[in-house]
Amino acid sequence: MEIKVIGGTLSQKEINTYVMQLKEANPDKEFKSFEFTVDGDYVDVNYTYDAVPFERIRRITGYLVGTLDRFNNAKRTEVEDRVKHGITDCSCSLEEIA
């Protein structure tokens, strides 16, 4: 975790307090960096989060799956043989449609 103090100084105890308060307010977030800008008696705090890993889940042949590694050969063949639909470019005008 990167911590940067700009425009003044903060004790380690103050930095720890700010970080702890932010972590308590956002328990489901992983922080990447903190930037503390000291302006007299005021401190502005900017922070960034780490990227949230996620698993893509698709509906394939009636099952919700993230990966195909648990599919048997028959299900893998179904996946390979299915028709994939996409969006095509429609360059016609609204007058032609009506």
One digit per residue, the tens of pLDDT, for the chain of length 98 reads 899 999 999 999 999 999 999 999 988 888 999 999 999 889 999 999 888 777 777 776 677 777 777 788 888 888 788 777 777 666 665 555 55
The 3-state DSSP composition of the chain as helix, strand, coil percent (nearest 5) reads 30, 30, 45
Tell me how far apart the terminal alpha carbons of the chain are, to the nearest angstrom. Answer: 58
What is the pTM (predicted TM-score) of this model? Answer: 0.52
pLDDT of residue 55: 76
pLDDT of residue 70: 79
Question: Which residue, among 31, 34, 24, has the nearest Cα to 49 in the 3D structure?
Answer: 31
Distance from C-alpha of 26 to C-alpha of 93, rounded to nearest angstrom? 49
